[in-house]
């Protein structure tokens, strides 16, 4: 009988009892995993969306700055009306006559001849008086003393003149 009572005890214990608990844990684990993946995905998407929004904002600001600079440049319109070179001992004097047909004065910050910065330059009105800017509607002579040792310019030789304004606008002419 003892053998029979152990068989009864074994049979009274439901064989699927512990398995149901495992299945219920496995189900919650799958749900938890799905929720975790969803949270990570939404977090990554929000970081990406924030970055993209910031990038778009920066690009929009860059476009606005370009438009402002373009509007400013439209107000400062220069044209070369005449130029000549004169060799003087150890330097060449270059005179470039500029006409400002824009609606704002042009203040010259830097001058380059063939890519070499020129430290010695003056703005002269047609009467020979020094001026501080190329005035609207007037012709102004930009006179540059180019040291021969730094950048030998011979009369009749072509060269590039670059002018940079206080507003960092760049004008370039092949002369």
Q: What is the 3-state secondary structure (H, E, C) of 93-155?
A: EEEEEEEECCCCCECEEEEEECCEECCCEEEEECCCCECCCECCCCEEEEEEEEECCCCCCCC
Residue at which a domain ends, from 73, 92, 118: 73
Going by pLDDT thresholds of 50, 70 and 90, the confidence category of residue 165 is confident
Q: Is 81 within 8 Å of 139 (Cβ atoms)? A: yes
Domain boundary residue among 41, 73, 105?
A: 73
Examine the fold and report which residue of 12, 47, 73 is the final residue of a domain before the chain moves on: 73
- pLDDT band per the 50, 70, 90 thresholds, residue 171: confident
Do 86 and 146 lie in a common domain? Answer: yes
Q: What is the number of domains present in the chain?
A: 2
**Domain identity same for 149 and 95:** yes
**Same domain for 102 and 32:** no
pLDDT tens per residue across span 69-121? 665 666 777 888 888 778 777 778 888 889 988 888 888 899 988 888 888 88
Structural domain boundaries, residue 81 = 77-174
**Mean of per-residue pLDDT scores for the chain:** 77
One domain, residues 61 and 139: no
Other C-beta atoms within 10 Å of 89: how many? Answer: 6
Q: Domain holding 149: CATH number? A: 2.60.40
Calpha distance 134→97 (Å, rounded): 10
């Amino acid at each position: 009988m003892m053998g029979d009572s152990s068989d009864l005890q074994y049979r009274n214990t439901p064989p699927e009892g512990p398995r149901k608990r495992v299945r219920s844990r496995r189900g919650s684990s799958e749900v938890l995993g799905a929720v975790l993946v969803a949270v990570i995905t939404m977090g990554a998407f929000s970081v990406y969306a924030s970055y993209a929004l910031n990038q778009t904002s920066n690009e929009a600001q860059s476009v606005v700055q370009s438009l402002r600079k373009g509007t400013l440049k439209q107000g400062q319109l220069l044209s070369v009306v005449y130029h000549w070179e004169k060799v003087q001992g150890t330097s060449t004097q270059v005179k470039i006559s500029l006409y400002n047909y824009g609606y704002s004065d042009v203040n010259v910050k830097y001058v380059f001849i063939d890519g070499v910065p020129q430290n010695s330059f003056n703005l002269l009105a047609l009467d020979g008086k020094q001026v501080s800017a190329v005035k609207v509607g007037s012709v102004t002579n930009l006179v540059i003393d180019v040291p021969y040792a730094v950048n030998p310019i011979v009369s009749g030789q072509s060269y590039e003149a670059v002018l940079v304004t206080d507003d960092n606008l760049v004008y370039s002419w092949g002369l």
